[in-house]
């Protein structure tokens, strides 16, 4: 096996394993909030952690899920330059399909922001602005996330980072597919708002 093949293999495995760390589940268990998979939507992401009433835990989950995506890309850049896009993809795959949880993980919004920031900070800034802007305007978490992942490949093209547009487009398709139930509720007008009763 060539050195190049070994590097790519190492990036795939390391990025996947890093992305697969279920911070939301770990934090809620350590805090005594119970098994996150039996709360609310059953998702392991920050939005569901917020349903436990622990705002601090939700914020920590968001930041850690973001950080693991960024870390995967930065480590790839440091040790195997040219594999950043692959690391970005595998980190989000790890978050969404973690081996530790029988491949049933989160929906990838925060981790995708992390990889976007690490790939090129202008893309990450655009992602954050769209995500937060839509979230503040609508108070619908899924709509903010979906808007942000769609904005990412466009931002890549507009900021001179077109090389990253394909992987961001692929991640957008993945995140949209994982949100298919949310999209159905958005169309029906039944998607819950943050702070609401739904």
* 144-173 per-residue burial string, b: 16 or more CB within 10 A, e: under 16: bbbbbbbbbbbbbeeeebeebbebbbebbe
Give the pLDDT of residue 198: 45
Q: How far apart are CA 25 and CA 175, in angstroms?
A: 20
pTM: 0.92
Residue 119: closest CA among 95, 144, 155? 155
Per domain, the residue ranges of the chain are 3-188
Q: What is the mean pLDDT of each run of 10 residues along the chain (198 residues)?
A: 80 96 87 74 77 82 95 96 96 95 91 98 97 95 96 98 98 97 95 72
Contact between residue 147 and residue 103 where contact means Cβ atoms under 8 Å apart: no
How far the first Cα of the chain sits from its last, in Å, is 54
């Amino acid at each position: 096996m060539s050195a190049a093949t070994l590097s790519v293999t190492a990036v795939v495995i390391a990025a996947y394993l890093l992305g697969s760390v279920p911070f939301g589940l770990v934090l809620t268990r350590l805090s005594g909030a119970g098994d996150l998979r039996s709360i609310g939507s059953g998702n392991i992401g920050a939005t569901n952690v917020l349903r436990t009433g622990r705002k601090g835990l939700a914020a920590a989950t968001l930041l850690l899920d973001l950080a693991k995506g960024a870390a995967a890309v930065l480590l790839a850049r440091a040790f195997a330059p040219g594999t950043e896009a692959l690391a970005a993809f595998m980190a989000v795959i790890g978050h969404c399909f973690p081996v530790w949880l029988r491949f049933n993980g989160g929906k990838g919004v925060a981790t995708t922001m992390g990889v976007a920031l690490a790939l090129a900070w202008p893309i990450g800034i655009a992602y954050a602005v769209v995500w937060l802007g839509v979230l503040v305007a609508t108070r619908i978490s899924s709509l903010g996330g979906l808007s942000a992942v769609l904005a990412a490949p466009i931002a890549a093209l507009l900021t001179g980072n077109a090389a990253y547009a394909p992987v961001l487009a692929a991640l957008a398709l993945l995140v949209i597919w994982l949100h298919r139930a949310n999209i159905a509720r958005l169309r029906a007008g039944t998607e819950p708002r943050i702070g609401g009763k739904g």
